[in-house]
Amino acid sequence: MIGPLIPMGVIPETWNNVIALLLGVGFGFALEASGFSSSRKIMGTFFGYDFVVLRVFFTAAITAMTGIFYFDYMGWMDMSMLYINPYYVMSAIIGGIIMGFGFALGGFCPGTSFTGVAIGKIDAMVFSGGLFVGVFIFSELYPLFQGLYNSHNLGGAKIYDLLGMRATVFAFLLIVAAVGMFYGAAFVEKKVKKVDY
């Protein structure tokens, strides 16, 4: 079966929402079981007492990336059919910085806050409520942000093209960097005073 299955017509569109629900269950389970329903565990990455976010995030990214490259190489999936978020340089950077600010105050990102909500964390519920308010504020003030939001569109640019590298070389370097960070994280964790949470 050549993927991606739904765009290729292998699985009919009607299954889309059922599949969304099932994949969501896997996503939520992996997040919660790893400890992402706790804001203080998540924030450990920034203070060095618990690098679970770094480990899970980068392991997930390189696992999925390797699978995609492998399936593309074997001819089991057409990578060029995958959706790539367009790269609007300014709004990607500014949006990321605003999200980082929110992260430091709230201790969650949207996906992790939903798993917190699921197990009864009241701080996660308040954070999730804030997300709705934030999206509403952005939408209402959109005329103010419109210029910035739409500036410097590089389309579905790939990082390796911008860096002038071959895709596989960049992928390999990313894996090496991730493994390096895993060793670095273990080293730092040993040095940093334990935080009880």
Count of residues interacting with another protein (CB under 8 A) = 132
Residues 103-142 as x/- pattern, contact with another protein by CB under 8 A = xxxxxxxxxxxxxxxxxxxxxx-xxxxxxxxxxxxxxx-x
189 is an interface residue for another protein by CB under 8 A: no
Residue selected from 73, 147, 148, 172 as contacting another protein according to rule CB under 8 A? 148
Q: Using alpha carbons only, give the angle 162, 163, 169 rounded to the nearest 5 degrees.
A: 120
Under the binding rule (CB under 8 A), the answer on residue 85 touching another protein is: yes
Residue 97 or 176 with smaller CB distance to another protein: 97
| 181 scored as a contact of another protein (CB under 8 A) | no
151 touching another protein, by CB under 8 A: no
Cα–Cα distances in Å, from 159 out to 84, 137, 164, 179?
A: 11, 31, 9, 20
For 77, the 3-state DSSP assignment is strand
Q: How far is the CB of 27 from another protein (least distance, A)?
A: 5
The nearest distance, CB 163 to another protein, in angstroms, is 9
Residue 93 binds to another protein (criterion: CB under 8 A): yes
d(CA 143, CA 197): 43
Q: Which is nearer to another protein, 73 or 197 (CB)?
A: 197
- 3-state secondary structure (DSSP) of residue 9: coil
Structure tokens given for 123: 């701080």
Residues 53-72 that bind another protein (CB under 8 A): 55-65, 67-68, 71
- Contact yes or no for 151/91 (Cβ under 8 A): yes
Compute the CA torsion angle 133, 151, 58, 52 (nearest 10 deg). Answer: -30
Binding residue for another protein, selected from 26, 74, 183, 190, defined by CB under 8 A = 26
